Structure 1
Amino acid sequence: MDPDTRRLVRLVIEPGDDTNNMLDMLLAKKRAGDRKAWLEEKGGLAQVAL
C-alpha cells in the first residue's frame, strides 16, 4: 500500500453482531481451514463486475 494514500479507519462492531467472528475467520492464520471451507461453500455467490 502506498504510504501517501493509505488511511487508517476505525471499525466499530456492534454487540451481538457476527462481524467479529467473520473477520477473525477471514484474517486469522490459525483459521485457514475454516476460511477454505467457507470459500468453497460460498465463493460462488460473489458478484463480480467485469
Structure 2
Amino acid sequence: MKFREIFVPKGVNIWMMVLALHNDLGIWRKDAYRFNLNKFANGIKGACELPQV
C-alpha cells in the first residue's frame, strides 16, 4: 500500500493518533475544531477533503 510517497509493505501495522486525525485541517477543512453536525448532512464525503479517510 502507498500513502503519498510512503510505501507500507504487506503485514505492517500502522498506528495513528485519533486526535491528530480528528483535528487535521487538511482533512476536515477550516471548521475542524468546531462542532457542526450539519457538516455531515451529506455523509463523510461531503464533510471532508479526503473522503477515503
TM-score by length of 1: 0.24
* Structure in which a larger fraction of residues adopt helix: 1
TM-score by length of 2: 0.23
Report the structure number with the largest CA radius of gyration.
1
